[in-house]
């Protein structure tokens, strides 16, 4: 069975050398991190995209009913880049997209598009199109009429419109659907038509607001591949909004992680997953063991009273820090071979791996492994130094891991 693209990304990223530097302030989270995209041969969606700047959001702030939703947000997006705005509900990602699209006006700040200030331009005057989760197809029109709607408003010729309809349907793999009605199509097909209608206008930028949210899991995964293919064939910029971490890891060139109106981290899927810059990012992107620790000195950290070798430097001596270790990076060994010892306390079979909890050092470690260890068995814990991520303690509430009440 083929691996899911998100799994391929993570597996490949594990083999890459880890770049580390964690003395960032909140201000640095709002600046584009360059040079982090890793060359991949296994998944060819990525090109050398860091060329021309297309969009710059400059100090964007927005409040609703006195509640700050975006607080002096700065973001740069380049041509032919697939950028995903990722975060929980209420983080500001949809408001950012609506400001980009012209549907919402910022309280302060500017939207710069291809060097021009378009902050005051209405949506229909901007060189972009938006695809919404609800499709917004005209149910009384055929598929061809839906796709042609915007072109007719622009008074394009009949032959031009017919050519564009054929091209758009080929692009979304729906040749021959011109005379079908929207209600005769599946959810995935309707979403493709909504995308076809958006791209026939040849926008420089396509905004996608959780377009796959209403689809079932299998169809959603298929559409992820389709969006990547369409974006590469069209050669335009995609800005995609989602709260689904797997979607972001699968499709993006660049992920922008947001929380409480602030950008928490910007980077490639690999850097976001392997190098989270604070507890919120580590907790939100996949499962994590986030453990209080003390950085004894460069490349040596005390975790729950046990010394572990790591590769991080620059934190000083005997400094309280947080450590992030992904469950798949925890290796269970014979007790005598581990850096520390513990006992398996819980076991769940997840299909592709076993999920275990190991009580060690007074902390319940989450472990993912294809090798099952039974509950009650004494084991050793070992972690490769490259897989121990050191972070500064959170400086503000938006940088903290999300607490879940049970």
The helices-and-strands tally (H runs, E runs) of the chain is 10, 20
Delimit the domains of the chain by residue range: 5-14+26-127+203-281, 288-393
Distance between CA atoms of residues 368 and 391, nearest Å: 22
Q: What is the pTM of this model?
A: 0.81
Place domain 288-393 in its CATH homologous superfamily: Nucleic acid-binding proteins (2.40.50.140)
Residue 30 has φ and ψ, to the nearest 5°, of -90, 5
Residue found by looking up tokens 């909890």 in the block = 357
Phi-psi region of 134 (alpha: psi -120 to 50; beta: other; left: phi over 0): alpha
- Can you give the pLDDT of all 406 residues of the chain as single tens digits? 444 444 444 443 443 434 333 333 332 222 222 233 333 323 334 444 457 999 999 999 999 999 999 999 999 999 999 999 999 999 999 999 999 999 999 999 999 999 999 999 999 899 999 988 777 788 899 999 999 998 888 889 999 999 999 998 988 889 999 999 998 998 888 888 988 888 888 899 999 998 887 777 887 888 888 889 888 888 899 999 999 999 999 999 999 999 999 999 999 999 999 999 999 999 999 899 999 999 999 999 999 999 999 999 999 999 999 999 999 999 999 999 999 999 999 999 999 999 999 999 999 999 999 999 999 999 999 999 999 999 999 988 888 876 544 3
Minimal CA–CA distance to 288: which of 352, 234, 363?
A: 363
- CATH classification of 5-14+26-127+203-281, choosing from 3.30.930.10, 3.40.190.10, 3.40.50.300, 3.30.300.30? 3.40.50.300
Question: Which residue bears the tokens 């492994």?
Answer: 369
Contacts of 24 (CB under 8 A, 6+ apart): 277
């Amino acid at each position: 069975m083929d691996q899911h693209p998100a799994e391929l990304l993570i597996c490949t990223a594990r083999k890459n050398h880890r770049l580390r530097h964690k003395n960032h302030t909140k201000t640095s989270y709002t600046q584009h991190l360059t040079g982090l995209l890793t060359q991949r041969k296994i998944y060819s969606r990525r090109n050398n995209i860091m060329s021309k700047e297309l969009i710059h959001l400059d100090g964007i702030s927005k409040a609703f009913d006195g509640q700050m939703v975006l607080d002096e947000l700065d973001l740069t997006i380049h041509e032919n880049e697939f950028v995903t705005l990722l975060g929980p509900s209420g983080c500001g990602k949809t408001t950012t997209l609506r400001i980009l699209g012209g549907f919402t006006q910022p309280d302060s700040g500017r939207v710069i598009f291809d060097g021009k200030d378009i902050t005051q331009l209405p949506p229909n005057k901007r060189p972009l199109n938006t695809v919404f989760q609800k499709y917004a197809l005209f149910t009384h029109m055929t598929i061809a009429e839906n796709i042609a709607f915007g072109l007719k408003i622009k008074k394009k010729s009949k032959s031009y419109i017919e050519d564009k309809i054929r091209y758009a349907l080929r692009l979304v793999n729906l040749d021959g659907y011109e005379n079908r009605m929207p209600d005769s199509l599946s959810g995935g097909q309707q979403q493709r038509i909504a995308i076809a209608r958006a791209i026939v206008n040849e926008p420089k930028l396509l905004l996608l607001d959780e377009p796959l949210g209403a689809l079932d899991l299998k169809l959603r995964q298929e559409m992820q591949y389709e969006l990547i293919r369409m974006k590469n064939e069209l050669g335009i910029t995609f800005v995609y909004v989602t709260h689904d971490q797997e979607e972001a890891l699968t499709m993006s060139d660049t992920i922008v992680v947001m929380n409480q109106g602030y950008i928490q981290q910007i980077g490639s899927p690999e850097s976001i997953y392997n190098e989270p810059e604070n507890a919120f990012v580590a907790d939100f992107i996949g499962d994590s063991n986030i453990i209080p620790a003390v950085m004894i000195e460069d490349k040596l950290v005390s975790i729950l009273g046990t010394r572990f070798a790591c590769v991080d430097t620059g934190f000083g001596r005997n400094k309280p820090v947080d450590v992030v270790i992904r469950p798949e990076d925890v290796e269970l060994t014979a007790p005598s071979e581990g850096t520390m010892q513990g006992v398996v306390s819980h076991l769940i079979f997840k299909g592709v791996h076993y999920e275990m909890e190991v009580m060690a050092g007074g902390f319940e470690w989450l472990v993912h492994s294809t090798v099952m260890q039974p509950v009650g068995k004494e084991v050793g814990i070992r972690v490769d130094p490259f897989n121990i991520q050191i972070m500064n303690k959170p400086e503000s509430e938006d940088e903290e891991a999300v607490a879940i009440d049970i």
